[in-house]
């Protein structure tokens, strides 16, 4: 009985400070390890070492078709976007005609604007363009606007029937790019201006000509007469102009048709393909 009391009352062996800290650390590690073991038992056996590779392979196999479809769709969409850009380039002149003042847009890059509101044979338009180019080679630089109806004036239809006023207006519109001679031909008469102001001497010479008359062909023929009159007033000789063939007209018509078809296909691709993909 006495020995039991002695053993209880006897203090434990003393330890150094370092040993006490290690014991505390070991105890915490043991508790943490026991907890992990219990969690492992609750969650089930650990996965095999090759499970991540299998998981990756499964994910890749699952995502593969979607990625391929997405890539194919992206390629088709890119193709149609390029087709739409090509069609826009082919139809740029037609798009410019729909602006507020169509002639001012066209004449910034070309020498001839021909009415689009009435039909003009392409061969006759090409002949007028060739005459303007020949006049330039002969020393007479001129840009021409053939106006048949108020629709050709875009946002300024009130100037229809007043070729002199419209010649001044149009000259101011393109002055920064072309300040030279500008000829306007309407059914009611002619207007000729330089840098947005009427050219009095040349205007008097054109006023002596008969009225152009209505219709696209009549207006283009009147434009050719006016150009020759201006050349005579300036003492310039226009070289002979070869009559253009219809090949250029047919080629241009085919290009416009191709451009329209490509634009339609691009619209179908943009709106139809995404719907199929969502299904």
- Flag whether 107 is in a domain: yes
Report the number of distinct structural domains present in the chain: 1
pLDDT-based confidence at residue 102 (cuts at 50, 70, 90): very high
pLDDT digits (tens, 9 = 90+) for 164-206: 999 999 999 999 999 999 999 999 999 999 999 999 999 999 9
Distance CA 190, CA 144 (A): 11
Q: What share of the chain is helix, strand, coil (3-state, %, to 5)?
A: 65, 10, 30
Distance CA 189, CA 211 (A): 5
- Flag whether 88 is in a domain: no
**CB-side neighbour CA atoms (13 Å) of 77:** 12
- Flag whether 256 is in a domain: no
- Flag whether 109 is in a domain: yes
Q: Are 186 and 161 in contact (CB under 8 A)?
A: yes
More confident site: 140 or 15: 140
Question: In this model, does residue 121 exceed pLDDT 90?
Answer: yes
Across the range 134-147, mean pLDDT stands at 96
pTM of the model: 0.57
pLDDT digits (tens, 9 = 90+) for 45-72: 544 444 444 444 444 444 444 454 555 5
- Flag whether 38 is in a domain: no
pLDDT digits (tens, 9 = 90+) for 6-52: 444 444 444 444 444 455 556 566 555 555 545 554 445 544 444 44
Q: What is the per-residue pLDDT for 17?
A: 44
pLDDT-based confidence at residue 134 (cuts at 50, 70, 90): very high
- Flag whether 29 is in a domain: no
Q: What is the per-residue pLDDT for 230?
A: 97
**Beta carbons within 8 Å of 76's beta carbon, 6+ residues apart:** 269, 273
Q: How many CB atoms lie within 10 A of CB 159?
A: 21
Tally of helices (H runs) and strands (E runs) in the chain: 10, 5
pLDDT digits (tens, 9 = 90+) for 212-265: 999 999 999 999 999 999 999 999 989 877 665 554 444 455 555 656 666 666
Q: What is the per-residue pLDDT for 240?
A: 76
- Flag whether 118 is in a domain: yes
Q: What is the per-residue pLDDT for 100?
A: 72
pLDDT-based confidence at residue 83 (cuts at 50, 70, 90): low
Residue 173's domain is classified under what CATH number? 3.10.310
83 Rama sector, left if φ>0, alpha if ψ -120 to 50, beta otherwise: alpha
Distances (CA, A) of 127 to 121, 148, 208, 242: 10, 18, 24, 8
Q: What is the per-residue pLDDT for 1?
A: 43
Distance CA 96, CA 103 (A): 8
Distance CA 13, CA 9 (A): 12
Q: What is the per-residue pLDDT for 157?
A: 95
Rounded to the nearest 5°, which phi and psi values hold at 181? -70, 135
- Flag whether 46 is in a domain: no
Range of the domain at 173: 99-248
């Amino acid at each position: 009985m006495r020995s039991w009391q002695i053993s209880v009352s006897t203090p434990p062996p003393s330890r150094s400070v370092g040993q006490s800290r290690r014991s505390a650390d070991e105890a915490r590690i043991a508790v943490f390890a026991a907890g992990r073991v219990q969690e492992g038992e609750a969650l089930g056996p650990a996965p095999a070492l090759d499970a991540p590779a299998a998981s990756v392979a499964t994910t890749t196999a699952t995502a593969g078709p979607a990625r391929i479809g997405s890539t194919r769709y992206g390629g088709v969409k890119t193709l149609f976007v390029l087709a739409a850009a090509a069609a826009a380039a082919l139809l740029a002149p037609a798009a410019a005609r729909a602006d507020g003042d169509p002639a001012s847009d066209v004449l910034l890059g070309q020498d001839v604007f021909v009415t689009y509101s009435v039909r003009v044979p392409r061969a006759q338009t090409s002949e007028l363009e060739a005459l303007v180019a020949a006049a330039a080679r002969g020393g007479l630089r001129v840009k021409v606007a053939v106006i048949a109806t108020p629709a050709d004036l875009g946002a300024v239809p009130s100037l229809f029937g007043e070729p002199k006023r419209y010649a001044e207006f149009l000259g101011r519109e393109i002055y920064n790019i072309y300040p030279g001679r500008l000829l306007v031909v309407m059914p009611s008469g002619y207007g000729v201006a330089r840098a947005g102001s009427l050219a009095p001497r040349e205007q008097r010479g054109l006023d002596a000509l008969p009225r152009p008359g209505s219709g696209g062909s009549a207006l283009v023929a009147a434009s050719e007469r006016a150009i020759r009159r201006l050349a005579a007033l300036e003492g310039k000789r226009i070289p002979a102009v070869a009559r253009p063939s219809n090949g250029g007209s047919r080629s241009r018509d085919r290009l416009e048709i191709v451009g329209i078809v490509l634009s339609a296909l691009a619209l179908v691709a943009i709106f139809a393909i995404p719907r199929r993909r969502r299904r």
